[in-house]
Amino acid sequence: MEYVKDPKMIEIKSFEIIQGIIDDIRPGYKFKNEIEEKIIKRCIHTSADFEYLDILKISETAVQTIINALKDGCTIYTDTNMALSGINKMKLNALGCEYKCLVADERVKELAKEKGITRSMAAIEVAMSEEGKKLFVFGNAPTALYKTIEMVNEGKDVEAIVGAPVGFVGAAESKYELEKTNIPHIVVQGRKGGSNIAAAIMNAILYAM
């Protein structure tokens, strides 16, 4: 059997195919800029879903805010270990960034039990109590996204949010609420998203840097 074995060539070929399909199904489609093209195409590459041409929404200051935070050695908080595992650690380490998923943290377990809330929500409360600049990357838990918005409204600081929770209960609604805020954000509208998409968005930005 003949097939492509080189991982770099597989990726190059994939992105060539993606552009070819875009040309076929959406002739004349224009990306806003080069970085948004990289983000959207990486989401398509991860999912094989061309609806990301329309449902991925990037607020005006989001990308530059995320880049600045990464350069400043921020901490990335994810809502799942799967999202965390998908983000390129070599790039983050080179930038001096920390990265965490707190859902299994003992402080989070105790707080969730005490308050009768989800661990994802409790993880946000714990994250907000920590020092330093924060980026939140969500691919699974709408309650985490809702809680972050609530805490920002109460005066807590967040650099930016990648909002990509997938699912049927609160996913679309939580992302709609994020779009209404002034928080720099990258959002997957509707029910789609996922930990792999959240990681893909972050990786697209890291690779562009």
Q: What is the predicted pLDDT for the residue at 92?
A: 98
**pLDDT tens, residue by residue, 152-209:** 999 999 999 999 999 999 999 999 999 999 999 999 999 999 999 999 999 999 999 9
Q: Which helix (H) or strand (E) holds 16?
A: helix 7-25
Average pLDDT over residues 103-131: 96
For residues 74-94, one letter each, b for 16 or more C-beta atoms within 10 angstroms of the residue's C-beta and e for the rest, the string is bbbbbbbebbbebbeeebbee
Residue 142: name the closest of 105, 160, 168 by CA: 168
* Angstrom distance (rounded) from CA 95 to CA 99: 11
Asked if 45 and 200 touch (Cβ cutoff 8 Å), the reply is yes
- Domain over 7-208 is classified CATH 3.40.50.10230: yes
Reply yes or no on whether the pLDDT at 144 is more than 90. yes
Non-local (6+) Cβ contacts of 209 within 8 A are: 67, 70, 71, 91
Residue 121: name the closest of 148, 139, 94 by CA: 148
185 is catalytic: no
**pLDDT tens, residue by residue, 42-80:** 999 999 999 999 999 999 999 999 999 999 999 999 999
Whose tokens are 């109460």? That residue is 154
Q: What is the predicted pLDDT for the residue at 8?
A: 85
Reply yes or no on whether the pLDDT at 4 is more than 90. no
Domain locations in the chain as residue ranges: 7-208
Q: Which of 14, 15, 36, 45 is catalytic?
A: 45
